[in-house]
Amino acid sequence: MPRSMTRSALFALALVTLGAGCLGTPSDDGETLDGPIATDASGLTTVTSFGTNPGNLKMYTYSPAGVGADAPLVVVMHGCTQSALDYVKAGWNSLADTWKFHVIYPEQQTANSSTRCFNWYELGDIQRGQGEALSIKQMVDWMKGQVSIDDERVFATGLSAGGAMTAVMIATYPDVFSGGAIVGGIPYRCAAGSADLTKCMGGFDRTATVHGDVVRNAVPGYVGPRPKVSIWHGTSDIVVKPLNATELVEQWTNVHGVDATADATWTVDGASRKEYRDANGETVVESWSIPNMGHGTPVDPGFAAAGGCGTAGAYILDVNLCSTYRIGQFFGLDQGVPGGGTGGTGGTGGTGGTGGTGGTGGTGGAGGTGGTGGTGGTGGSGGSGGDPAPVCEEFYEGNYYHVQKGRAVVCGAFNSYACAVGSNQNLGLNNVLPTWIRKTGPNYYEAGRCP
């Protein structure tokens, strides 16, 4: 489905006008082969038949060794002039190796866009059931037909045009995606054609209601949960201006029915992180503003917690902040397969929030503990006629929330740490980065997970 050269040329002109550079050599757009074949350099697998593919996109996948049943799936979309292989440098494959989830990399073709941009501005590609949006949805469907995917843990992320396409996917398929992370991107339906490119990339101020309405109108009559959203932008981005991050916050807080005033603000690795919570205390939107960063995906090759995070390159920026890891945490990818343990997750206890954050063994999101009466199996009994079984409850939240909910107290130098109530174990810095703790007795908490 080739696009006209006029549209491609217009987009190329917009990139030049706003200072975008070139990202290496595009991959080959050669003939289509029958069936998937693994590439020998990257570990990506090419899938050449995954549906009608009305958007004429390419599909690559990555599945780590040892991935189990009901695994999460992340759709990762590159930026303009990039390829799927280029965007592997963002670190998603390495994180998948650690946390065991599948990855899909859609790839644009030069037949569609001479600059390899996903066509986030073409109405025929950004509506449900049409064009590139449908092609990407078909990739998800294909993957679900090949491996065991948890329907409640399908996510999307991308940079620049891939970030704008992430907004497209979570707007048009809220019944497919539980969350999205938009890096240097643009609100859904900012543009209604190539004539709007420069206006949108430069930042186009609309009211939150107008932004929210275009998302609601994308799937008329939809009343289900909406994806939670993580928004990332550099303060020195001259390609896609930072105003777009503000507009994205307004769009997605409005969609979730909350205001655009942050409920909490934190400094993490030098960046400003803001949380926007719903009435249940769930963070449904977060925003990250990275000082002095230009246009690109922030990585940290020296990030110890993940054994390194990404590889610096054009528009893959080493700013000592691992966006891939932080986004993975926001999606709950580090929490294992939900439903494990005799207590179960959610259900009676009501795990929480749009997108669902319940982890192994029965914790909620900000909502807490698997619910009233929820952690010991049905009724919590230890067997027919026997003594009650020992109860262990797990909680996975930032230490700040453990303190707020009485599981921990501030401690250490300048009260900058959190210590578990009862055991007095030091849980680390008193911040919002999630940690596991377990309750093993009345008002007694320890670091770690239940056995």
Active-site residue numbers? 160
At 345, phi and psi to the nearest 5? -120, 155
Do 361 and 157 touch, CB atoms closer than 8 A?
A: no
Do 312 and 301 touch, CB atoms closer than 8 A?
A: yes
Sign of CA dihedral 86, 176, 118, 143: positive
At 171, phi and psi to the nearest 5? -75, -40
The continuous run of DSSP H or E covering 335 comes out as: none
Strand partners, 268: 271
CA 345 to CA 340: how far, in whole Å? 8
Identify the CA nearest to 65 among candidates 101, 111, 37: 101
Given the structure tokens 């926007």, which residue do they identify?
A: 276
At 378, phi and psi to the nearest 5? -65, 115
Q: Which two tokens stand for residue 314?
A: 């054009």
SS (H, E, C) 35-60: CCEECCCCCCEEECCCCCCCCCCEEE
- Name the DSSP class of 203: -
**Cα torsion through 428, 430, 433, 439, rounded to 10:** 70
Q: Which two tokens stand for residue 440?
A: 């093993």
Q: Which two tokens stand for residue 150?
A: 């948890």
- Tally of CB atoms within 10 A around 68: 11
Strand partners, 396: 436
Strand partners, 273: 266, 288
Identify the CA nearest to 352 among candidates 337, 336, 332, 333: 332
The continuous run of DSSP H or E covering 245 comes out as: helix 243-256
Q: Is 416 helix (H, G, I), strand (E, B) or coil?
A: coil
Greatest extent of the chain over all pairs of C-alpha atoms, in Å:
78
